[in-house]
Amino acid sequence: MRILLIIASLCLSSHETFAVENTSLVFVPTFQGRAIQLFDSSYILNKKDTIRFTSIKWYISNIQLLDDNRIIWSDKGNVHLFDFDSNKIPLIEIPTKRNCTTIRFGLGVDSLVNVSGALGGDLDPTKGMYWTWQSGYINLKLEGTSSSIKSSKKEFQYHIGGYSFPYNMYRTITLPMVMSDKIIIHFEIDKILQASDITTLHHIMSPNNNAQTFADSLLLSFSIKQ
């Protein structure tokens, strides 16, 4: 009987025989290494610009674990909404495996999901992350205020999304894996803002060239911390 149970548990795992134990994968938005707090907390950018955040929401999808470019586990097709506004920061369970060397995931919603129209769960339009069937889902929503912006409200709003050529904003991130009881991936918001001129470009609200450049900066804004 014990042998049958072991075989059954292995059949339920993805692609390979993982250890029974799982580990938690969590994404944390950070600014200069500190976990971001919305509204009341302020952060200094480039020694002169005071930043406050009012909204941070993003999608993570198609998580894969790799060993030397060979996929050994896949969460492919699943999309997770990280809604920092409402403290919805899900823990994603992934199997542990000692020779897992790399993790790969998508920032945003890929074209296959977008052409399926508005969906439910984390993809429900009521989550505030869906434009229309033409433009699709918003991959990242980043809003706040900056002391360097000249407008009266000093607001910045970056809504980065779109899936149609030439403005496909979905980006694939690949990181070296560090296995532990909880794997924490920092989403380094300060790197995003440093790559943009927030004083002149503080609103991106549709798929365009500026959004494409902004999306490219996201490739270097993730890191795994032990």
Q: Confirm if 67 and 101 have CB atoms less than 8 A apart.
A: yes
Look at 164 and 3; give whichever has higher pLDDT.
Answer: 164
Q: Confirm if 200 and 210 have CB atoms less than 8 A apart.
A: no
User: Span 184-207, mean pLDDT?
Assistant: 94
Report the amino acid identity of residue 138.
I
- Cis geometry, peptide bond prior to residue 166 (ω within 30 degrees of 0): yes
Show Cβ contacts of residue 70 under 8 Å, excluding neighbours closer than 6 positions. Answer: none
Average pLDDT of the chain, as a whole number: 87
pLDDT score of 57: 96
* b (16+ CB within 10 A) / e for 100-135: bbbbbbbbbbbeebbeeeeeeebbeeebebbbeeeb
What does the H/E/C string look like for 145-158?
EECCCCCCCCEEEE
* pLDDT per residue as tens digits for the range 128-142: 999 998 899 999 999
Per-residue CA distances from 35 to 22, 41, 135, 188 (Å): 25, 11, 31, 9
User: Span 122-130, mean pLDDT?
Assistant: 95
pLDDT score of 18: 40
pLDDT score of 83: 93
